[in-house]
């Protein structure tokens, strides 16, 4: 016989069983905050290095970069890889790469905000510093799409070696607009520029390139050629034109190769396939074959490396910005998580060992940022010999060190978050996959060390400028003074520099970072940097700050406040 009372009790029991727990002790997403206002080190660097005029613009841009909707653009651009079609449905070769709308929106914002153009269109004191700060913010949203932005920005110094081509192309390169259409450049008011150097047999050794350039008529700078060969790594293949290295009878030369010929027909360079990369997935990278593509020589024949190296120097600088930005976003995620989660009876960010790790991650980021922004100031003052020499040497040193330090930094920040930091609905896996890219692109670690040696051999005064700059901090800290003196002593004999290059370049980077932090940085950050980096205290892994430092103050300084 049915019992109504028993049914009621059973339904009540089921209702209670369906509510297993309340979600507590979980941080809210880090979103809807101002990335610029909540980054004390960046704001200080902008003022210190001469870009205070950009403060309001950076505040506005920082608000956009922190919006939940903006962050979602980065997520969507990475969740939807570029697609590729060789031909249209009628059989015409189109070599068209398609992107998610989120990618195009990020590109639009980047170009409309002058991340590719502002130091060229509005040069002056602080121009590179202001642009670097904005790029630093923008890269934290999504790093991969910054590749074509960087190449377009960096192309101007190289193209200006050929004034007749610059007159035609520079206005469209510098236009603060974005036009993603796969149409001839003659139908556009704005264009993007890519770069094609490496080949299968050479990689970084571009002098081993086999792509040939054949003059159509007259030879020499500014003249048209047809290129035949291949390129093994062409990022952003939907750019409107590319700076390409190819061999002539006089040696390796630089050329500007557009996607389309002036008559509106497709230039015969063909994408074979897109690269299947572990990271940087929102940006397409490709392998191409060049089958008689029309191109114009840029700069002196046979001096292609010298011509394109000006572009490479700029892209290497952006690698520094991008890696420092990746560190900042990792720090923001880790400190936000640890500030809002408890374990073993206390907030994570209040526990001594976690404090050691978090503070160390912040120190690494602030040192990278200080170094990068100092190079930006040097780029703003190239008419000053000291600044010119400093930039020449500090760029490969910084590119090597900052980019090299980023992968372990990303991993350590991920570990601070724990299992949730490994999940693909969190930004940390993307930061980790992105972290090795800048260390490899635009010349890997050994290439940067060898370029440092090349600078010292061609212009020994660069080392004098470097040490002169570093020595500005002498007397501020005994540990720094000893470290600087030892490094200078080790440079007395560089007969086997190539063998010892990594050790010396490591210490050059640490010396400059220490000098900048002691002179301009937060006193607790500077003290902990000297204690952990310039003294042998047991290792360079994160979480090795010695006793006597002030991690709580460093963490408070580096943690973004939301709400």
The per-residue pLDDT for range 203-240, each reduced to its tens digit, is: 888 888 999 999 999 999 999 999 999 999 999 999 99
- pLDDT average, residue stretch 115-120: 98
pLDDT of 450 reads 95
pLDDT of 493 reads 84
**CB 292: neighbour CB atoms within 10 A?**
12
Q: What are the beta bridge partners of residue 228?
A: 212, 291
556 pLDDT more than 70: yes
pLDDT of 18 reads 77
- pLDDT average, residue stretch 524-532: 97
The pLDDT confidence band at residue 166, using thresholds 50, 70 and 90, is: very high
Those residues with Cβ within 8 angstroms of residue 233's Cβ, 6 or more apart along the chain or in another chain:
198, 275, 285, 286, 287
**Rounded Cα distance, 174 and 109, in Å:** 14
Pairing of strands 269-274, 285-298: antiparallel
**Rounded Cα distance, 220 and 298, in Å:** 9
**CB 542: neighbour CB atoms within 10 A?**
23
Q: Do domains 40-301 and 306-558 have the same CATH topology?
A: no
The pLDDT confidence band at residue 2, using thresholds 50, 70 and 90, is: low
- pLDDT average, residue stretch 317-340: 98
pLDDT of 12 reads 55
Give the start-to-end residue ranges of the domains of the chain.
Answer: 40-301, 306-558
pLDDT of 7 reads 52
36 pLDDT more than 70: yes
131 burial (CB, 10 Å; 0-12 / 13-18 / 19+) is buried
How far, CA to CA in Å, does 433 sit from each of 216, 256, 322, 326, 408? 44, 32, 13, 11, 11
- pLDDT average, residue stretch 117-144: 97
pLDDT of 16 reads 61
Lowest mean pLDDT among 110-114, 325-329, 424-428: 424-428
Residues present in the chain in total: 563
pLDDT of 204 reads 84
10 pLDDT more than 60: no
The pLDDT confidence band at residue 537, using thresholds 50, 70 and 90, is: low
- Share above pLDDT 90 across residues of the chain, in percent, rounded to a whole number: 91
The structure's pTM equals 0.95
189 pLDDT more than 60: yes
pLDDT of 549 reads 96
Q: Could you say which of 3.40.50.12160, 1.20.1300.10, 1.20.140.10, 3.10.450.50 is the CATH number of the domain covering 306-558? A: 1.20.140.10
**Rounded Cα distance, 81 and 99, in Å:** 7
Nearest CA to 365 among 35, 131, 71, 42?
42
pLDDT of 550 reads 97
Alpha helices in 217-351 (DSSP H): 304-339
534 pLDDT more than 80: yes
138 contacts 110 by C-beta, under 8 angstroms:
yes
Cα–Cα–Cα angle for 396, 400, 405, nearest 5°? 150
pLDDT of 3 reads 56
Q: Which helix (H) or strand (E) holds 343?
A: strand 342-343
Tokens of 113: 């905000």
**Rounded Cα distance, 82 and 119, in Å:** 30
pLDDT of 207 reads 85
User: Maximum distance among all alpha carbons in the chain?
Assistant: 106
Model pLDDT for residues 395-422, shown as the tens digit of each residue: 999 999 999 999 999 999 999 999 999 9
- pLDDT average, residue stretch 159-184: 97
Q: Report the mean per-residue pLDDT for the chain.
A: 94
41 contacts 245 by C-beta, under 8 angstroms:
no
Distant-in-sequence contacts of 462-465, Cβ < 8 A, 24+ apart: 462/389, 462/390, 462/392, 462/393, 463/393, 463/491, 464/389, 465/386, 465/389, 465/390, 465/393
245 contacts 297 by C-beta, under 8 angstroms:
no
**Domain 40-301, second-level architecture:** Beta Barrel (2.40)
């Amino acid at each position: 016989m049915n019992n109504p009372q028993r049914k009621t009790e059973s339904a009540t029991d089921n209702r209670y069983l369906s509510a297993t727990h309340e979600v507590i002790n979980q941080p809210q997403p880090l979103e809807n905050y101002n990335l610029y206002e909540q980054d004390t080190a960046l704001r200080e660097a902008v003022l210190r290095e001469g870009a205070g005029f950009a403060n309001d613009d950076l505040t506005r841009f920082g608000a956009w970069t922190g919006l939940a909707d903006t962050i979602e653009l980065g997520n969507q651009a990475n969740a939807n890889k570029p697609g590729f079609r060789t031909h249209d449905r009628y059989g015409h070769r189109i070599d068209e790469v398609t992107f998610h709308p989120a990618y195009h929106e990020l590109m639009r914002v980047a170009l409309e905000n002058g991340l590719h153009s502002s130091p060229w269109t509005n040069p002056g004191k602080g121009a590179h510093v202001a642009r670097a700060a904005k790029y630093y913010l923008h890269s934290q949203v999504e790093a991969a799409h910054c590749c074509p932005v960087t190449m377009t920005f960096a192309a101007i110094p190289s193209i200006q070696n050929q004034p007749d081509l610059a007159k035609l192309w520079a206005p469209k390169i510098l236009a603060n607009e974005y036009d993603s259409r796969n149409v001839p450049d003659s139908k556009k008011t704005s264009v993007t520029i890519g770069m094609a150097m490496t080949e299968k047999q050479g990689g970084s050794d571009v002098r081993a390139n086999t792509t040939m350039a054949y003059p159509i008529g007259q030879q020499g700078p500014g003249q048209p050629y047809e290129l035949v060969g291949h390129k093994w790594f062409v990022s952003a293949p939907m750019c409107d034109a590319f700076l390409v290295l190819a061999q002539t009878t006089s040696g390796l030369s630089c050329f500007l190769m557009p996607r389309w010929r002036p008559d509106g027909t497709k230039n015969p360079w063909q994408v074979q396939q897109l690269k299947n990369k572990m990271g940087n997935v929102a940006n397409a990278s490709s392998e191409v074959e060049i089958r008689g593509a029309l191109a114009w020589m840029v700069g002196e024949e046979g001096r292609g490396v010298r011509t394109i190296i000006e572009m490479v120097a700029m892209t290497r600088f952006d690698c520094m910005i991008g890696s420092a930005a990746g560190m900042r976003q990792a720090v923001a995620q880790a400190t936000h998580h640890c500030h809002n989660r408890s374990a073993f009876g206390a907030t994570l960010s209040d526990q001594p060992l976690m404090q050691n790790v978090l503070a160390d991650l912040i120190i690494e980021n602030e040192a990278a940022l200080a170094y990068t922004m100092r190079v930006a100031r040097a780029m703003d003052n190239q008419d000053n010999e000291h600044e010119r020499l400093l930039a020449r040497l500090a760029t490969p040193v910084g590119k090597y060190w900052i980019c090299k330090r980023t992968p372990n930094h990303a991993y350590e920040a991920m570990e601070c978050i724990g299992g949730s930091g490994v999940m693909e609905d969190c930004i940390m896996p993307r930061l980790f996959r992105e972290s090795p890219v800048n260390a490899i692109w635009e010349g890997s670690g050994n290439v940067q060390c060898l370029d440092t040696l090349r600078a010292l051999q061609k212009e020994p005064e660069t080392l004098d400028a470097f040490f002169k700059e570093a020595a500005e901090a002498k007397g501020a800290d005994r540990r720094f003074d000893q470290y600087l003196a030892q490094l200078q002593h080790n440079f007395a004999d560089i007969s086997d520099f190539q063998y010892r290059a990594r050790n010396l370049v490591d210490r050059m980077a640490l010396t400059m970072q220490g000098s900048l932090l002691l002179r301009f940085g937060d006193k607790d950050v500077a003290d902990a940097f000297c204690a952990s980096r310039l003294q042998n205290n047991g290792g360079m892994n994160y979480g090795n700050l010695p006793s006597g430092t002030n991690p709580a103050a460093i963490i408070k300084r580096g943690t973004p406040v939301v709400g």
